[in-house]
Structure 1
Amino acid sequence: MELLVTIAYFCLVWLIFFRFHLLRFNLFWSFVVFGLYAGAALTEIIVLGQTTPYSKELVVERYVIQLAPEFGGLVTEVHAKPNVPVKKGSPIFSMDATPWQNKLTEATGALAGAVEEQKSVEAELAQAQRKLDDAVKLVPQGNMAAEQLPIRQDRVEGLKAQIAGIQRKQATLQAEVSEARYNLEHATIVAPADGYLVDLVLRPGGFIRLKQPVANFVSTEEVFLIATVDQRSVQWVRPGDEAHFALSMYPGRLFKAKVDSVVWATSRSQLTATGLLPSEQQLGTSRTFFVKLDPEGDFSQTPLELGASGLAAIFTSKAIDLVRVLRMIEIQSESLLNYVFNPF
């Protein structure tokens, strides 16, 4: 854009002074011509660059969720299609639930049997406890042989231990029932949010491994923008600052946004923890920081598709009205240039 403005400016100078000779190109006008150009360049570099950061690298981001079933199995039915919007909770695909249905039936039956067994042993325990209570009363009176007391005590303790074992067995069976029921409920994978599938290639008859990612789901419930901003101009950027952005797929259109946050970190400067001291080759530098923007307005006619790219202008609190107007003219002009492209 700066190159086009420069070419247009000097073409205008050529027309005025050399083509049509409307003015004489003397020392005064040479100072005026080059002074205006130098002033405009300094304004662009210093004032606009510092107070209204400009990013030519902006991309639309959405959350992508990997679909990975809780257990492996045979795919029996595929309900959804790639790139077709689905609602949260809509079925995506189903797996063969027969193994887990059988486990649920088996574990449920065994649990019911364990419950009945506990009731039977508890009845025996109640009877043994009554006999022990009688022995406790009768032995001191000499109405019952003394050796009956420890026998009946052992009987009660044995029944209590048996009940404890049955209860542990019930806990194990209950866990098996819960696992089987959970997996049975998750035999059909559903959409985790409103969105669409990108690369669903599953077909009935395919086999899925345990927790293997089988598709990428793009959520349409949330959308945000990521723009790269030069470190020399990011110092004044604050959450809530107004921003305008344009996308290449919508030539001539401008959209509004708000600054959500600045990502105060760059991957190139990250050091990996190893047993060796870091070297200068491991340390990289970056010119930019990422700024997260939240789009504002109605995008029903201009959907913000994941991966759409463009540019953005951020208006910080340091920007005066004249500078804001100049930056808005610049981003609008850049957006109009998107109409011109080589389709071949």
Structure 2
Amino acid sequence: MLEIIIGIYAGICWLIFKKFKLLPWNFISKVIVYSLPIFGTIFLILSLNYYCPITSDIRVINRSVDINPQILGRVKKVYVTTNQEVKKGDTLFTLDPEIYIQELKSLEARLKSSESNLASGNENLNAAYSNVSSLQSQLDLANKRVEQYTKLVAGGAANRFDLEQAQANANDLQNRLNSARSQAQGIQVNLAASYEGENAGLAELKAKIAQAKWNLEQTVVLAPADGTIPNVSINEGAILSAFKSAFVLIKKEQSVIGLFAQNELEAVQPGDEVELALRTEPGKIIKARLDFVIDATSQGLLNNAGGMLGGSVASLPDTSRPYPEYEGKLAAKFIVDDPNTVLTTGARGDATLYSQHMKAMHIVRKVMIRINSKLNYIIPKLH
């Protein structure tokens, strides 16, 4: 565009001074003619860069989601193919559910058995207390007989064998009473143990059943969002472990990010007009708006260990790096005006921002961005 403006200027000067000779071609006119484009070009370039910043580093970004099962299993059936579009909730693939079905049935059977045992637990407790009461009565009677035989033996009215027999009977009843009390106490503890107002044993089984049902549900893997499957890398019969990525889903939601020098975005505001010229869309101008500017760079961030995040390694600044060290750029996010526009993921190109100032200069940038868009048709390869 600058070359076109200079060419037009040179043509006008030729017409004025050479063709029609409207003004004399002397020293003063020469100084003016040669100085005007120099200072005009400097003013134009500086004004354009400040009020209509342009960048050749924009990127179309889609978020991706790793599709991985939450459980171990063998792939039973795959429902998607490479480069297929899916909707949220669509079935992607299933795992063999048989082992989880059997686990669920086993736990449900154990729950039925435990509920039955709990129902008869009160009866068992009453029976245990009745047994304790009966043994206590028998022990009291046996102790009285021991006391009676002790007095009779002391008076010579009974033999010692009867006394020893009564003492042995009393000791046996005492042991049986202690055992019955322990049994009754154990039954009572089991009945009294609870979790959130429910029998602890039943609560544990119900929790295991809920986990088993969740595991069974995870045998059907669903799409978490609308998007595209770029590559299906699994097949039926493959063994997948928990949290092992099966493939990637590229979400439909797109972001267009432009990177600018740190002093280029002073005059622009959110909502300002943006024009995009992508290499994947030669000859086409995509209208957009400035959403926001991320007012930070990775070179100014510290991680938890106190290291700098200026690069791929989170460490202190690398002083052995060749100087000058490049400054981090600011990222600006754009919103495409047409929500139905689908851009190529990873597309690169140019973007121009138009501030609310010096609007007369917008035409220069608009011409430049359109020329860049047309140049995207050219493929400069020698092979």
TM-score, normalised relative to structure 1:
0.79
Report the 3-state secondary structure (helix = DSSP H, G, I; strand = E; otherwise coil) of the residue aligned with 2:86.
coil
The structure 2 residue matched to 1:159, chosen from 179, 187, 191, is: 187
Letter in 2 for 1:247: L
Unaligned runs of 5+ in 2: 138-173, 309-314
Letter in 2 for 1:70: Q
Please give the residue correspondences for 1:8-157 in structure 2 after superposition, counting only pairs within 5 Å. 8=4, 22=19, 27=27, 28-29=29-30, 31-45=32-46, 47-125=47-125, 157=185
Whether the 8 Å contact between 2:297 and 2:328 is mirrored in structure 1 is no
Aligned length: 325
- CA displacement at 1:67 relative to structure 2: 1.0
Tell me: CA distance 1:22–1:9, structure 2 relative to 1, closer, same or farther (3 Å): farther
- CA displacement at 1:116 relative to structure 2: 1.6
- CA displacement at 1:171 relative to structure 2: 2.7
- CA displacement at 1:285 relative to structure 2: 4.6
The structure 1 residue matched to 2:332, chosen from 278, 291, 303, is: 291
Letter in 2 for 1:203: N
Q: Deviations over 1:200-246 (max 9, x none)?
A: 210112111221112110111x2221100111112334333332222
Whether the 8 Å contact between 1:226 and 1:290 is mirrored in structure 2 is yes
Q: Deviations over 1:168-190 (max 9, x none)?
A: 33233222212221121111211
Structure 1 stretches of 4+ moved >3 Å: 5-19, 21-27, 122-129, 150-158, 268-272, 274-280, 282-285
Unaligned runs of 5+ in 1: 140-146
2:126 and 2:320 map into 1 onto residues whose CA distance is 75
Larger Rg: 2
Whether the 8 Å contact between 1:16 and 1:22 is mirrored in structure 2 is no
Tell me: CA distance 1:341–1:120, structure 2 relative to 1, closer, same or farther (3 Å): same
2:216 and 2:70 map into 1 onto residues whose CA distance is 10
Report the 3-state secondary structure (helix = DSSP H, G, I; strand = E; otherwise coil) of the residue aligned with 2:85.
coil
Whether the 8 Å contact between 1:269 and 1:285 is mirrored in structure 2 is no
The structure 2 residue matched to 1:238, chosen from 255, 258, 269, is: 269
Residue equivalent to 1:309 = 348
Letter in 1 for 2:91: P
Whether the 8 Å contact between 2:80 and 2:93 is mirrored in structure 1 is yes
Residue equivalent to 1:185 = 217
Letter in 1 for 2:229: L
Letter in 2 for 1:262: V
Residue equivalent to 2:149 = none
1:170 and 1:263 map into 2 onto residues whose CA distance is 54
Tell me: CA distance 1:108–1:271, structure 2 relative to 1, closer, same or farther (3 Å): same
Moved more, 250-259 or 9-18: 9-18
Report the 3-state secondary structure (helix = DSSP H, G, I; strand = E; otherwise coil) of the residue aligned with 2:203.
helix
Tell me: CA distance 1:321–1:127, structure 2 relative to 1, closer, same or farther (3 Å): farther
Whether the 8 Å contact between 1:58 and 1:311 is mirrored in structure 2 is yes
2:3 and 2:360 map into 1 onto residues whose CA distance is 23
Moved more, 92-101 or 257-266: 257-266
1:154 and 1:50 map into 2 onto residues whose CA distance is 90
Moved more, 224-233 or 282-291: 282-291
- CA displacement at 1:162 relative to structure 2: 1.5
Asked whether 1:211 is paired with 2:243, we answer yes
* Paired-residue identity, %: 23
Q: Deviations over 1:65-93 (max 9, x none)?
A: 11111012211111101211111111111
The structure 1 residue matched to 2:359, chosen from 316, 321, 344, is: 321
Asked whether 1:176 is paired with 2:208, we answer yes
The structure 2 residue matched to 1:262, chosen from 272, 276, 293, is: 293
2:366 and 2:10 map into 1 onto residues whose CA distance is 28
Tell me: CA distance 1:279–1:85, structure 2 relative to 1, closer, same or farther (3 Å): closer
Whether the 8 Å contact between 1:262 and 1:289 is mirrored in structure 2 is yes
Whether the 8 Å contact between 1:240 and 1:258 is mirrored in structure 2 is yes
Whether the 8 Å contact between 1:16 and 1:23 is mirrored in structure 2 is no
1:156 and 1:187 map into 2 onto residues whose CA distance is 46
TM-score, normalised relative to structure 2:
0.72
Tell me: CA distance 1:74–1:156, structure 2 relative to 1, closer, same or farther (3 Å): same
